[in-house]
Chain A
Amino acid sequence: MASFTIDDAGPRARSVQPRRRRPGAKLKRRNTLIGWSFILPNFIGFALLTLVPVLALFYISFTNWNVFGTAKWLGLANFRRLVHDASFRTALWNTVYYSVVHIPLTLVISLALAMLLNRKLRGVAFFRTAAFFPYITSVVAITTVWNLLFSPKYGPINDVLRFVGIANPPGWTTSATWAMPAVIIVGTWREMGYYMILFLAGLQTVPRELYEAARMDGANAWKRFRHVTIPCLRPTTFFVTVMLTIGSFKVFDIILLMTNGGPGQATLVLSQFIYNTGFVNYQFGYASAASIALFVICIAVTIVQFVVNKRRAA
């Protein structure tokens, strides 16, 4: 049926380089050249328009730049200040809180959705669209509506909770304890359709023959999922995990519009700390230092994911 063969049901480990590559200097140079020719069209735009400003940001983080005029070199002073800044620590802690809950939750839900909607059902187009709708609807609209739903006194959510006998339902976005869970719920709800699409695309790479073979061997649904779906989906899962991690650490607009970091500093996250430091307090040097900190955290996590992924692939 298909023109390729599959030899095992395990991870389809593949060499990343053309197999005919021989360790010859000439060939190596040729490969490098071809490789760069592929990357270059994108890289030129990327380097000039994104990389240069980002490098400028690295420089700015060592200065006291306030947008106007010249910047004075401060060395590590901004970073020392970060370490002792209680607000930064609060923002960091809140960001970690958000990420640690939001990442696995979204991962599981979006994968489940993708599995569920990766089949010929009557009306599957409608359900796929429904799942993706939160993402295409403007974030202003969805945060407004969710705030209404979460309204502690007049909101439908607490009406339901009271109806089932919970006398003192949470204050959600108006409570320091519940604001973060509320924001996580909305974040997950909004992004599940987004990652569902990526998983849907990934699921198409799973050869159906493997399912057939597994079924012949008498594997039940869970085993097929565990031993066929999961391993074959690894490149997609890696992509989704990295994007989800970075996205969670950078979470901004939902929180800005729902709670604006409050009440108090209960939902202050790193991106907002950076934005306020820059555009409210006009301390762009300090804001840049905080961005670098965020960058380092994201990159560290990504590298760990990279290594784990490589090890699994091997």
Chain B
Amino acid sequence: MKRSIPAVAALAAVASLALAACSGGTSTASQPPAASAGATTASGGLCGTGDVTLTVSGWSLSTTPEFKKLADAFHTKCPNVTVQVKEYDASNYSTLITADLAANAGPDIITQKEVKYVTTFVSGNQLLDVSDLTSQLDPKLSGLTSYQVNGKQYAIPYRQDSWVLFYNKNLFDKAKVAYPDGTWTWDDYVKAAKSLATALQAGGNSSVFGTYEHSWQSTLQGFANAQAPKGGILTGDYSYMKPYYERALDLQNSKAQVDFGSITTNKLTYQGQFGKQQAAMMPMGSWYVATLIAQQASGDADKFNWGFAPIPQYDSSTTGTDKTPVTFGDPTGFGINAAIAKSKVAAAKGFLVFAASTDAAKALAGIGITPALTTADVASTYFATPGAPTDALSKFAWTTHKTSPENVTDPRTAQVQSILNDAHTAIMSGSSSIDAALAQAKQRVHDEVGIG
């Protein structure tokens, strides 16, 4: 996914509010070691022995408070362990980590920012096998499979974003269109987007659109891969994406959505389009919740009522609040550098287990981040953040979903994704017909990756 920054971070204002409101309470509550869910071992096992300093890779520390938060919380739990966050440039994280590991200068704990590189690290023997930790984890923890290679566990997730449908209640009211109710298929969504556009543009404002689908390939292909019956990036045949592209082109042509060319050439940002009320709906990852709250507080985004709903579904078999909607998203996790000093291993493993615990999840939820563990308890902390939506559907969308990984953990994933991205830009810019571009992608995946 090309989200260039981990925008999940909350602005300092919100963060500090949230910290004052929640985390103070959380950390006091977590003082007794018994509160650490899942970790039934004695806290001595979690902390290792002796004074240990661990380094962990992170990025954008000033606006991604999660690393510091987890480091401090772990230090509170295990005073003998100091966790230092080594900062990397967010948009060049993979390149820089690669260079460091190649020169044997990597940190002790390697944050797995992109799932598609997990197999590269594993095949290069850069990650320690941490399969022994899985028994200490909450069974509800999601995203574990993304870090499994050949039956072994190489990292533990602590954060799991997934895609939902954001909507602007004010614009819906103005256009007299009914809010999403969790029963939408993509066809319902297209219909709503068109009615919204017609009503909103009738006011003479031709730059307000019904919906905003950002230019990333994930915005369309992510859903097709997760929802379509024959979907999957390693299938070698991508004709299942066709209905998704037909709808996207239909939205563009009927002016219910700004056209792809304008998004790329005018560098439209999704924060600007939704935050400045240029679109009434937007499919986006849950990280945007924290951003939107922060921007509304700072004035970078307009003040309006909003909420988020489950993402529209392939067909009605998964719609409705009594079913589990299917969406996609990749986890973020911690792995241990295979070259770590022996004396640090126990403490490093302890950190991985801690980051996936309920305590850590609540601490993360308190700063607007979606942890990999979303129990009801964690959810109430999350929705207590000032500025967060409070309606039932938003809570449902946040807690209930089947999240397929966007990037399958496989050595071929990175290459297939770049081929599919070429198809995406070719179709969306109108340079190529849907059929031709998908056929070409099939051919290239066959020739260059050897699938199909």
Contacts and interface: CB of A to CB of B under 8 A. Distances in A.
Q: Is there a contact between chains A and B in the complex with CB atoms less than 8 Å apart?
A: yes
Given A153-B261, A264-B437, A282-B414, A68 B126 contact: yes
Contact-residue bracket for chain B: 35 or more
Contact of A262 (B98, B102, B425): B425
Contact of A68 (B125, B265, B415, B432): B125
Interface stretch (B116-124, B284-292, B361-369, B398-406): B116-124
Given A66-B123, A68-B102, A282 B117 contact: yes
B424 to A, nearest CB: 9
Nearest to B338: A68
A282 B414 CA distance: 9
Interface string A235-273: 000000000000000000000000011111110000000
Given A69-B125, A281-B414, A174 B266 contact: no
A280 B414 CA distance: 6
B260 interface: yes
Interface string A146-189: 01101111110000000000000001111110000000000000
A144 B126 CA distance: 38
A85 interface: yes
B444 interface: yes
A3 B267 CA distance: 60
A37 interface: no
B431 interface: yes
A67 interface: yes
Nearest to A155: B265
B150 interface: no
Contacts of A148: 265-267
A87 interface: yes
Contacts of B422: 261-262, 264-265
Contacts of A281: 414-415, 418
A93 B346 CA distance: 54
B426 A264 contact: yes
Contact of B431 (A67, A87, A147, A175): A175
A151 B265 contact: yes
Nearest to A281: B415
Interface string B245-287: 0000000000000011110111100000000000000000000
Contact of B264 (A86, A174, A265, A279): A174
Given A176-B432, A264-B422, A151 B444 contact: no
Nearest to B124: A68
Interface string A264-306: 1110000000001001111000000000000000000000000
Interface string A116-159: 00000000000000000000000000001001101111110000
Contacts of A85: 447-448
Contacts of B430: 171, 174-175
- B interface majority secondary structure: helix
A176 B266 contact: no
Contacts of A150: 265
A152 B262 contact: yes
B444 A87 contact: yes
B101 interface: yes
A153 to B, nearest CB: 5
A152 B266 CA distance: 10
B54 interface: no
B448 to A, nearest CB: 6
Nearest to B266: A151
Contact of B267 (A144, A261, A276, A279): A144
B235 interface: no
A276 B260 contact: no
Given A85-B448, A87-B444, A153 B123 contact: no
A220 to B, nearest CB: 46
B423 interface: yes
A152 B261 contact: yes
Contacts of B205: none
Interface of A: 66-69, 84-87, 144, 147-148, 150-155, 171-176, 260-266, 276, 279-282
5 contacts: A66-B123, A87-B448, A148-B267, A263-B425, A264-B431
Given A264-B429, A279-B94, 16 more contacts: A68-B120, A68-B126, A86-B444, A86-B447, A87-B448, A148-B267, A150-B265, A152-B262, A171-B430, A175-B430, A175-B431, A264-B423, A264-B437, A279-B98, A281-B418, A282-B117
Give me the 7 closest cross-chain CB pairs, A-B, nearest first.
A68-B124, A264-B426, A174-B261, A176-B431, A262-B425, A263-B429, A151-B265
